[in-house]
Amino acid sequence: MEDSAERQKAPKANLGDFQKLGWYILFICVAQEFMTLSYLANITFMVYAGFSPTVIGCDETVFNGTELERCEQLRAAQDRSRCAAVVDTQFESINCDFQLLCEDGILVKHSTSIQMVGVMFGSMVFGHFSDNFGRRKVLLVTVAGMFVFSIVSSFASTLLAFNVTRFVLMFFNGGMSSVQLVYVMEMLPKKHRLWIVTLVTTSPNYIIFAGMAFFTGDWRNLSRATSLLASLPAFVVVLFAHESPRWLVQKGRLEEAREVLVAVDRLNGTLTSQRLAEMEDILEKERTFFETQKHRQRYSFAHLFYTWKFTRYILTLSFALFSASITSYGLLFNMDKLSGSIYINSVFYGAFRYAMNILTGLVDYFGGRRSGRKVIHNVSLLYILLALGSVFLASALQVHNEWLTRVANLTAAAMCSQLFLSVIISANELFPTAIRNIAASFTSFVNRIGTVVAPHFFYTAIIWPPLPYLILIGIAVIDLISFSLVLPETKGTHMVDHMPRPEERIFAKKRKTTVTTGMEDEEVQPVAKAPKANLGDFQKLGWYICLLCAVQEFLILSQLSNMTYMIYAGYSPSVQSCGTTGFSGSDRERCVQLRSARNSSDCEVSLEAQFQSVNYEFNLVCEDGILVKNSISLQMFGVMVGALLFGQLSDLFGRKRVLIVCLLGMFSCSMASSFVSSFAAFNVARFFVMVFTGGQSSVQHVFIMENLPKKHRVWTVTLFSYSPNYIIFSAIAYFAGDWRRLSRYSSIVANIPAILLLCLAHESPRWFVQKGCIEDARRTLVSIDRLNGTLTEKRLAELDDVLEKERTVFENQRKKKRYSFIHLFYTWKLSGYIITLSFALMSASMISYALMFNMDKLSGSIYLNSVYFGVFRYAMNLLVGLTDVFVPRAGRKLVHNVSMGFIFVALLSVFVSTVLQSEEAAWITRLATLSAAAMCSQLFLVSGIAAAELFPTAVRNLAVSFTAILNRAGSIVAPHLFYTALLWKPLPYAIMLAIIVVELSSFNLAIPETKGTHMVDHMPGPEERIFAKKRKTTATTGLLENA
């Protein structure tokens, strides 16, 4: 009894379990700080040492104009006489010292690239050495080499001597950088890895190094100061540190590992007999493992490609570091082209970078598993895309905005810090100890290829000024996709200590299992498929799914026709004249002229329109157009009411019955609305059309999802979706020509076939089971199997087995209450899901419909715009469908994040062009608006599927109905969103960008990945509900439970 009451900690299972936050970790942080300062001071040395001065004259001759014009004047002056160039500079760089001005400045870029080649080779050589001879020894050698050659290089009298000494210096620097983080990571407790390396990192050292550069004033003194203030202290601190116990264990030097762990515990004050005993147990296991692999080979770079998994990891991580490197250093080495002081720019860069590091550390520490390495990497990369995209747009539109270029360049380069952190930590957590440093060296080698290319990167601007930014954006997009698809989340995992088994290697022969070899398992068992454990396992792709796809197509066409009806029926005509007075100018100017004409006479307004809308027929133009926007909001309110009402009814009376009622209501009210004679009657009729549309939209998706096999959910609903129907509906609108015929045509073409096909379909078997109608569910499933040609005795037996389990569950819950919307908040988990998904759908709805209902303000034909919108949207749907089928890691969250990132960039481009008041941006506004609205399709899709997969059958339709309510709240607000442009023209886009940021953050933090999971059939237990009293476990109850 007494023993059972005492809670014992789990025994230490991994060497890393001994790593505790204590005095020794503080000592390691000091070593990390000085090594980081030494590394950063040398890697960014050329930001100052290669600073391009401004040529102001030649002897007594004074130059003026742009930098290019000054260089031409200098060339002409030196051709006439041997005058000495006069320069103005913030820092005495080698350009000034060796007179490397104008076109000779390329030699300095070559020097930077030569130094980066040294880093590349150093990381490769010393990384290998550290795995053979130890992390600490290699760190001491590399830091000593950096100290010596940093002093030597400061006495160079020619550019050649400078290049040679700096190459050797950077060779040692590359070696230190490839070993340093592995050494530190192997010492840190897993819980504290990220926040420590974000706190003690390069970011604050940019500020320190900027201060050193400011006070030294020239490159020679800066090199000496770097050596004395960074490399020397780093050498002294590392000298007193211990070797990595992980490396010692991996080399079989277990006694030395024991001595190190004991010494660290003694320093921390945590040395106890219990910890010593656990340590001995772990080391004994490691000794046994080492003995079994005593004759193992030494590892090399080839072992990074030992398995397919390792190959994918190393290629993806290497490209990610290359991407971060070329972006970061390309922008850094171009800092001399930015406006303002290089010192102030460096301080801002370091401060912003450190602020992001601290924020990342806090999010990592307090955010749990959901704020992992991938979230940090992807959010950082999205910000970089945003910053680079804004500079690209400004450059492409030839808008010269110095503050935008300055801030965007510096913050994008600073944000690369998080990319380096997330990639390097992931590499350390993914690869085993035996090749961990080799992996770091290989990725560092590829990383340095980026730094070699970076100094010359902005010379591509000679071809086209925005080209460097366009290339960086392309690289970032590839990195974002590959990192998300290939790499698993590693936060909170143990670092791997052992290599995979030989049978896992690439092209290894698969072991054949025979009767003899199977004897080790005592009995040879035939390979059998797992029994069906869930009702969804019976859903197969067959003829019945084809019927449902046809139903889905006409349901979608019917719903879309009504949801987007006001794009055409509410199209704003252009005011041409009033009586004999003709108008000209913008729409706003024409309205002012119309108001003036009406004040002076009762003239008849002449309108011009691509489509005869209600605005056209009822003369609702200019300020009266707000009545049409109010009508749209009223109709969207009807959708919300319908979603709320019919969602609940479908859970009570069945999905199929409610769908048929909604379709009949849509058909009759839509036909009636086409005969109204006043705008008030139009609003009433359309309100009821949209009540039934809202009901249909809330039930349809659940009905289809409950009948689709889980493997085929995404591609099916992307193939039969809104997107191709936009093209069909634009054709119907084109041939109809006015709002009355459009209402009739769409009703006949969509609603009647949907009703007929739905009559042939079955009720959802999941709904039957949830209602306890087990026999009805059996008849439905048997009928579907018969139609598909898959009805066998084995499947019947499995079906009966599953249904019997469902009958038992139903009998146990026979007296259960009916579920309502309040049960969506039954547990904290369900509450988080419903709030996040509702906001996600509201965001998508507000953005999508705001852009769509503003389509009449875009240039070009409304029909061609609709066709482009539909084609682009369908292309994205097909791409998402194919990705979902063929790329297992491409889950719901990845599709959501990529789509939202695209929408963010598109809207940002419109926002920037509007702020900059570019007159050439009409094509940007048109394409970006249509593409962003089209991309919202994926957001609706992902949120809808996630809701169906996360909520139990009993409340699934309630969840969809609830999210549909918030969805429609967004569509109610949407028509009026662009009226905020009266306050400030870019304001609508600023609001949408802010909504995207909040939605993207909440979705990633609150929603788990659901791809490939079974749909939940049963509600959580009462003990999981919010504010449920926790059951106390006593010794007695514990014995009863275990009896």
Instruction: Dump pLDDT digits (tens) for 623-637.
Output: 787 888 888 888 888
C-beta neighbour count of 827 within 10 angstroms: 18
- CA dist 1017 and 956 (Å) reads 9
C-beta neighbour count of 357 within 10 angstroms: 24
Closest CA to 20 of 186, 268, 277: 268
Residue 564 in this model has a pLDDT that exceeds 60: yes
Are the beta carbons of 213 and 336 closer than 8 angstroms? no
Question: Residue 918: its pLDDT value, please?
Answer: 67
What is the SS3 assignment for 606? strand
Question: Residue 534: its pLDDT value, please?
Answer: 57
- Report residue 138's pLDDT band, with 50, 70 and 90 as the boundaries: very high
- CA dist 376 and 423 (Å) reads 10
Q: What is the mean pLDDT of residues 164-168?
A: 95
C-beta neighbour count of 753 within 10 angstroms: 18
Range from 34-38, 51-55, 857-861 carrying the lowest mean pLDDT: 857-861
Helix (H) or strand (E) holding 850: helix 828-852
What is the SS3 assignment for 244? coil
Q: What is the mean pLDDT of residues 600-616?
A: 82
Are the beta carbons of 772 and 810 closer than 8 angstroms? yes
For residue 86, report the phi and psi dihedrals to the nearest 5 degrees: -110, 125
- CA dist 628 and 614 (Å) reads 8
Cβ burial of 89 (10 Å; 0-12, 13-18, 19+) is middle
Which tens digit of pLDDT belongs to each residue from 39-53?
989 988 988 898 888
Residue 545 in this model has a pLDDT that exceeds 90: no
906 vs 367, higher pLDDT: 906
Q: What is the mean pLDDT of residues 254-268?
A: 86
Residue 277 in this model has a pLDDT that exceeds 80: yes
Which tens digit of pLDDT belongs to each residue from 680-694?
999 999 999 999 998
- CA dist 942 and 275 (Å) reads 49
CATH class, range 544-573+609-761+817-1023? mainly alpha
C-beta neighbour count of 1015 within 10 angstroms: 22
Range from 673-677, 898-902, 1031-1035 carrying the lowest mean pLDDT: 1031-1035
Question: Residue 737: its pLDDT value, please?
Answer: 86
Are the beta carbons of 1020 and 827 closer than 8 angstroms? yes
Q: What is the mean pLDDT of residues 768-791?
A: 81
Residue 10 in this model has a pLDDT that exceeds 60: no
Beta strands in 559-666 (DSSP E): 574-578, 581-582, 605-608
Q: What is the mean pLDDT of residues 127-148?
A: 90
Q: Where are the domains of the chain?
A: 17-53+89-241+312-486, 544-573+609-761+817-1023, 764-816
What is the Rg, in whole angstroms, of the alpha carbon atoms belonging to the chain?
34
Residue 758 in this model has a pLDDT that exceeds 60: yes
Closest CA to 690 of 509, 569, 797: 569
Percent of the chain's residues with pLDDT above 70: 89
Whether domain 17-53+89-241+312-486 has CATH 1.20.1250.20: the reply is yes
What is the SS3 assignment for 790? coil
Are the beta carbons of 571 and 609 closer than 8 angstroms? yes
Are the beta carbons of 321 and 443 closer than 8 angstroms? yes
Question: Residue 220: its pLDDT value, please?
Answer: 95
Residue 86 in this model has a pLDDT that exceeds 80: yes
- CA dist 399 and 405 (Å) reads 10
- CA dist 848 and 941 (Å) reads 13
Question: Residue 532: its pLDDT value, please?
Answer: 54
Residue 195 in this model has a pLDDT that exceeds 80: no
Residue 518 in this model has a pLDDT that exceeds 60: no
What is the SS3 assignment for 14? coil
Q: At what angle do helices 543-563 and 679-705 cross, to 10 degrees?
A: 160
Q: How far is CA 750 from CA 515, 559, 562, 659, 744, in A?
A: 61, 9, 10, 14, 10
Residue 460 in this model has a pLDDT that exceeds 60: yes
Question: Residue 527: its pLDDT value, please?
Answer: 40
Domain 17-53+89-241+312-486 identical in fold to domain 544-573+609-761+817-1023? yes
Please state whether 83 falls in left (phi above 0), alpha (psi between -120 and 50) or beta: beta
C-beta neighbour count of 585 within 10 angstroms: 10
Q: What is the mean pLDDT of residues 478-504?
A: 81
Q: What is the mean pLDDT of residues 570-575?
A: 81
Burial pattern 423-432, b for ≥16 Cβ within 10 A else e, equals bbbbbbbbbb
Sign of CA dihedral 637, 641, 643, 644: positive
Range from 167-171, 336-340, 351-355, 794-798 carrying the lowest mean pLDDT: 336-340
Beta pairing class for 85-88 and 54-58? antiparallel
Helix (H) or strand (E) holding 85: strand 85-88
Closest CA to 329 of 93, 99, 50, 125: 50
For residue 702, report the phi and psi dihedrals to the nearest 5 degrees: -65, -45
Stated length of the chain = 1043
State the SS3 of 352-378. HHHHHHHHHHHHHHHCHHHCCHHHHHH
Nearby residues of 288 by Cβ (< 8 Å), 6 or more positions away: none
Closest CA to 175 of 324, 319, 29, 39: 39
Residue 34 in this model has a pLDDT that exceeds 50: yes
- DSSP conformational letter for 192: G
Question: Residue 525: its pLDDT value, please?
Answer: 40
- CA dist 719 and 987 (Å) reads 35
Tokens of 134: 């130890």
- CA dist 470 and 455 (Å) reads 17
- CA dist 213 and 49 (Å) reads 9
Sign of CA dihedral 402, 404, 407, 411: negative
Residue 134 in this model has a pLDDT that exceeds 80: yes
Where helices occur in 333-432 by DSSP H, the ranges are 342-366, 373-396, 402-430
Question: Residue 492: its pLDDT value, please?
Answer: 73
Residue at 879: amino acid letter? L
- CA dist 571 and 569 (Å) reads 6
Residue 24 in this model has a pLDDT that exceeds 70: yes
Residue at 218: amino acid letter? D
First to last CA, the chain: 15
Edge to edge, the sheet with strand 54-58 lists 61-62, 54-58, 85-88
Full DSSP string of 142-161: HHHHHHHHHHHHTT--SHHH
Residue 794 in this model has a pLDDT that exceeds 60: yes
- CA dist 837 and 1043 (Å) reads 43
- CA dist 924 and 911 (Å) reads 10
* Average predicted confidence (pLDDT) for the chain: 81
Which tens digit of pLDDT belongs to each residue from 357-416?
778 777 877 776 677 788 888 889 888 988 888 888 888 877 777 888 888 888 998 888
Residue 64 in this model has a pLDDT that exceeds 50: yes
- CA dist 410 and 400 (Å) reads 17
Residue at 231: amino acid letter? S
Burial pattern 471-508, b for ≥16 Cβ within 10 A else e, equals bbbebbbebbebbbbbbeebbeeebbbebeeeeeeeee
267 vs 1027, higher pLDDT: 267
Question: Residue 514: its pLDDT value, please?
Answer: 43
Nearby residues of 446 by Cβ (< 8 Å), 6 or more positions away: 318, 319, 321, 322
Are the beta carbons of 722 and 705 closer than 8 angstroms? no
What is the SS3 assignment for 58? strand
Are the beta carbons of 46 and 115 closer than 8 angstroms? yes
- DSSP conformational letter for 224: H
Closest CA to 51 of 99, 1, 95, 16: 95
665 vs 828, higher pLDDT: 665
